[in-house]
Structure 1
Amino acid sequence: MRREPETRSVPVQGGALAVEVTESESAPVLAVHGVTSNCRLWNWLRAAEPGLSLVMPDLRGRAGSFAVRGRSSLRQHAEDLVRVLDALGLDTVDVCGMSMGGFVAVELATGRPDRVRSVVLVDGGLPMAPPPGLTPDRLPGAFAPQLSRLARPFDGVEDYLAHFTRDSPLLDAADPLLRDTLAHDLGADGRVRLSPEVVLADAEDVFFGESGWLRLTVPVELVCAEWSVGPGTAPAYPDEALARFRARLPTLREPRRVPGADHAATIMTHAGAAVVADAVHAVLSG
């Protein structure tokens, strides 16, 4: 049975995180969204598997946690999530992270292995090669398409939806789950609740920070897209990279490739979410 989430407020350094919680039949799964997203990214996973108990925070600088102040980083997000677990009375959880959220999941699992049973990484979390020529000072240009949504207020969700799907060719503009996700981004003034400073700080950490992925000791499931942005584009994780990861990380299980999906469609479509749900079930069942 699908249950509507309950929203909790969890104090963290610089403010309070908004956290949506659904309690159902499974052990709790901490679900961590990507760099420019929000907790409703998990709408499709909830639809694919209503029996999952999910803890879904808006990370600092985004949506319901937009007002949280202070510099952001993968480590800061991991510290915030420990506060969430403490506030909810959860000793250990399985963690599912999408894109940048996968890197946060790795940071949490390696920094606080006592709190994490397993991780599911959705097109993120393991090292990604920066695009050719990308340097920290060029990140604003690289993220210009994503940050363009901050340039003006939108005249409601339909206006924002048209802007958002322009650069996301595989997402269904008629999907009510997408509309709900985007509505959660918007403030009362029609502006997207997203801090550009936080986005760029987190992106710099993902591409140029140190990763502790080789210290992972928990079971790891990896779900990855066939393409990066649209059909025919090179994936974030080509087959040769996956082979290297498996050779070096004993706890990494056979990766799951989502056919016909790019980065966004790996979770923001029903087909992609079904693969993610299978990966989550695999870690929950041991």
Structure 2
Amino acid sequence: MLVPVDGGQLAVETHDGDTAPVLAIHGVSGSRKLWNWVAAHNFSLITPDLRGRGDSTALPGATIKQHADDMLRVLDALDLAAVTVCGMSMGAHVAVELAVRHPDRVRALVLVDGGFPMPAHAQLTQETLSAAFAPQLAAQERTWTVDEYLAVQAMVNPLIDATDPLIHDYFAHDLTDDGHLRLPGDTLIADATDVVFGESRWQELTMPTWFVHAEWSTGPDSPPAYTVEQAQAFRAELPVLHEPVLINEVDHGGTVMTPAGAAVVAEVLAEALRPELTASASTTNSTSSGS
């Protein structure tokens, strides 16, 4: 379906399942197909292509606030008063922004390897950030077949299974019919800049929140985006945050793009959807706020 937003229309896919609807928000270089593996666990998912990605490529502008505004339009278009929101990487930052600005529309949050300040970002500058995305920018200069593009991605992401049909579907969605990458370079850099140098309002969250993080960042034995100690520090500071969940032997992308990672995210998401947990946490938070 297409949802009217500022500047055009946002492409949104829905997956029918046995749960209450969940708004699932992908990361900076992803698309709605990122949630293929979680959808396989029979969740009812609402998965937008964020502006500049997939079938929303034509939409101009890209900031965390703009993406959050778009998500609100999606909820309005589907006549959903409040939903559980699951965001991965940059999508987790968008989820936090949506939840802080519109707490009445978000009943619970599941943040996957994002949404909180990432310590490694403190070492980045505008110049080094652009350099980090040089391979993605260079890839836009040529045309690809899906198999060529998938082969390169499998070398860059050693933990993905190139024979997985869901992987093929995911990377095929990155390409136009004539083999060009859909995501414009300026959109990629603008969003990454907002994530790295913008301000996350995670300390203002008031709804039940879950945090899932990976053992590695990019491939086996690489330093994680978030250590166990850092995750526990967030929990100590944020009363509504449940016990963080570490996914062993997966990296950042593998949290949702591998069967093992998606199974853990699905388990946490199922917990977040339990109404009694949400109601209990909300009551506890209200009592704490009023004391």
The yes-or-no answer on 1:145 pairing with 2:135 is yes
Tell me, which stretches of 5 or more residues in structure 1 are unaligned? 1-7
Cα distance change, pair 133–215 in 1 and its aligned pair in 2 (3 A) = closer
Alignment map for 1:219-234 (pairs within 5 Å): 219-234=208-223
User: Which among 14, 19, 22 is matched to residue 12 of structure 2?
Assistant: 19
The number of residues matched between the two structures is 275
1:117-140 deviation digits (Å, cap 9, x = unpaired): 011011111111244641123321
Structure-2-length-normalised TM-score: 0.92
Q: Name the CA distance, whole Å, in 2 between partners of 1:134 and 1:165.
A: 26
The yes-or-no answer on 1:242 pairing with 2:231 is yes
1:200-223 deviation digits (Å, cap 9, x = unpaired): 111111111111100001111111
Q: Is the 8 A contact 2:247 2:255 kept in 1?
A: yes
User: Which among 193, 199, 211 is matched to residue 182 of structure 2?
Assistant: 193
The aligned residue for residue 112 of structure 1 is 102
Secondary structure of 1:261's aligned partner: coil
Q: Is the 8 A contact 1:96 1:122 kept in 2?
A: yes
Shift of 1:151: 2.2
Shift of 1:72: 1.0
Secondary structure of 1:40's aligned partner: helix
> Which AA in structure 2 matches 1:179?
H
User: Which among 13, 35, 38 is matched to residue 42 of structure 1?
Assistant: 35
Q: Name the CA distance, whole Å, in 1 between partners of 2:52 and 2:143.
A: 17
User: Which among 181, 197, 204 is matched to residue 208 of structure 1?
Assistant: 197
Shift of 1:150: 1.5
User: Which among 80, 90, 97 is matched to residue 100 of structure 1?
Assistant: 90
Q: Name the CA distance, whole Å, in 2 between partners of 1:180 and 1:281.
A: 25
Cα distance change, pair 91–29 in 1 and its aligned pair in 2 (3 A) = same
Q: Name the CA distance, whole Å, in 2 between partners of 1:229 and 1:145.
A: 14
1:128-167 deviation digits (Å, cap 9, x = unpaired): 124464112332101123333322110x211110111121
Q: Is the 8 A contact 1:106 1:213 kept in 2?
A: yes
Q: Is the 8 A contact 2:64 2:194 kept in 1?
A: yes
Tell me, which stretches of 5 or more residues in structure 2 are unaligned? 278-291
Structure-1-length-normalised TM-score: 0.93
Q: Name the CA distance, whole Å, in 1 between partners of 2:101 and 2:132.
A: 29
Shift of 1:192: 1.2
Q: Is the 8 A contact 2:26 2:87 kept in 1?
A: yes
The yes-or-no answer on 1:125 pairing with 2:115 is yes
Secondary structure of 2:2's aligned partner: strand
The aligned residue for residue 33 of structure 1 is 26
> Which AA in structure 2 matches 1:95?
V
The aligned residue for residue 269 of structure 2 is 280
Q: Is the 8 A contact 2:119 2:226 kept in 1?
A: no
The aligned residue for residue 180 of structure 1 is 169
> Which AA in structure 2 matches 1:77?
H
User: Which among 46, 53, 56 is matched to residue 65 of structure 1?
Assistant: 56
